Amino acid sequence: MLNDWGLVMTLPVDHIHNLDSYVTNEGEAFESVAGSDVVKMDLWVPSESVTVHCIDVPTAPKRKWPELIPWMLEDRLLQPVEDMHFVVADQAVDGQLQVLVASQADIQEWQRVAQNSGVLPRAMYPDFLALPWEEGRIAVGWRDGLCVVRLGVAEGFAASPDIAWAMICGFLDQQQQAQPRISVSIPQPEIIPQRISELADINDSPIDWQFSQLPAQFNLLSGDFKSQASSGGFLQWLPTALLAILSLVLSTVYIQLASASINEQISSLETQLSQGYSSLFQGRRPEPDQVRAETENQLQQLFIQRRGLSSAPVAALMALDKLMVGCGCQLSSLQTTDNGLVMQIANGAALKERVPNIPGYQIAITQQADKGEGDIELRLTANGRGAGR
């Protein structure tokens, strides 16, 4: 379960002293691995190189705290404030600010070690925070011959065993209420003082660096160091981002060129379609999207005309076309019957001399009553087969 300060890290996490296992090149452990794949990690760093101070909350605006806090702690530090890195963690219960202080040279060295091991540190935390915290209990762990001690939510240190026991006893002496319990996990329980062992639950479990809760407020990679860590990740992804942008631009240009080419082809086909319609049919040239409908309408009209030309009266007239040419006669009247035609013709004497033979039809030429010799009546009657055609 998370406490009010902590969060479970989703990135890989380990102690900086264990980075030998992340070296990706052959050769010496810390040989440069420039150009190799980088592992992004959160790192624990030695607590003996980090101090936690509590100070009164400055009365100045919060934006000026980074300038004021180093000089408020000047008397407590053994090194010049210009060489130190300050992280304002949070406000304690008693109204004081908790400030982490580490040497800039140490942080730069940790970053160098991480880089040479093929690791890009996203955050760095004092390793005493890797110990479990429980109200009313002091946690003591073991790391490379040093005792790592957690006294509170954000209080802890790392020191040699004799100094660590003395500091724990001094902390116990300051407790006015019930004495806290102590959890001690070290490989040599015989070095534990009797006073502490009477209050302690002792085991030899090592510190689990991978599964620990980290308070984000205690990240040492802040300010200038944070920007350096972030820029490393940004520069790592910059070529990939540029390639993605270039691919997107090229894809957009290709789509635009292909779209323009398709539009030109469509326009050319529409022009050919309209020109083809005009070459077949007379009248107004329709729009490209109306060519099909207009063509179907024109074809329907042509089929209707064909059926009309195939009807008996029209077929009979067409059959007489050659008969009437050059005869010098005049058509006086024309009547249709159910199966033929009756024509009154003046000056038709010449037709009597060339009685035509029209397949499918019977022709009868008679003299008109009460008319002159050249006035005749021509009756064209379809026989049984011709009427069916």
Residues 80 and 215 in one domain: yes
Residue 231: inside a domain: no
**Can you give the CATH number for the domain in which 324 is found?**
3.30.1360
Q: Using the 3D structure, point to which of 160, 192, 222 is the last residue of a domain.
A: 222
Range 265-284 average pLDDT:
83
The predicted structure's pLDDT at residue 306: 80
pTM of the model: 0.55
Contact between 113 and 16 under an 8 Å Cβ cutoff? The reply is yes
177-198 pLDDT tens trace: 778 899 999 999 999 999 999 8
CA gyration radius, the chain: 55
Residue 72 has pLDDT above 50, yes or no: yes
Asked if 299 and 338 sit in the same domain, the reply is no
Does residue 37 carry a pLDDT above 70? Answer: no
pLDDT for residue 106:
93
Q: Residues 292-314: what's their mean pLDDT? A: 79
Phi, psi of 89 (to 5 degrees): -80, -65
Amino acid at 203: N
pLDDT value at 388 more than 90: no
Query: Do 214 and 68 sit in the same domain of this protein?
Result: yes
- Residues composing the chain: 389
pLDDT in tens, 312-332: 566 666 766 666 666 778 888
For residue 286, give every residue at least 6 positions away whose Cβ sits within 8 Å of its Cβ, in sequence order, or none: 274, 277, 293, 294
Whole domain around residue 381: which residue ranges? 310-388
| Structure confidence at residue 253 as a pLDDT band (50, 70, 90) | very high
Please check whether residue 232 lies inside any domain of the structure: no
The whole-number pLDDT of residue 159 equals: 93
pLDDT tens digit string along 107-135? Answer: 999 999 988 888 888 889 999 999 988 88
Q: What is the mean pLDDT of the chain?
A: 80
Domain tally for the chain? 4
Please report which confidence band the pLDDT of residue 272 belongs to, taking 50, 70 and 90 as the band edges: confident
The least confident of 35-39, 79-83, 152-156 is 35-39
Q: How confident is the model at residue 247 (pLDDT cuts 50, 70, 90)?
A: very high
Give residue 338's pLDDT: 75
CATH number at residue 176: 3.30.420.370
- Give residue-wise pLDDT tens across range 158-167: 999 999 999 9
The whole-number pLDDT of residue 32 equals: 43
Task: Determine phi and psi for 102, rounding to 5 degrees.
Answer: -145, 155
Neighbours of 321 (CB within 10 A): 8
Percent of the chain at pLDDT exceeding 90:
25
Band of residue 230 on the pLDDT scale cut at 50, 70, 90: low
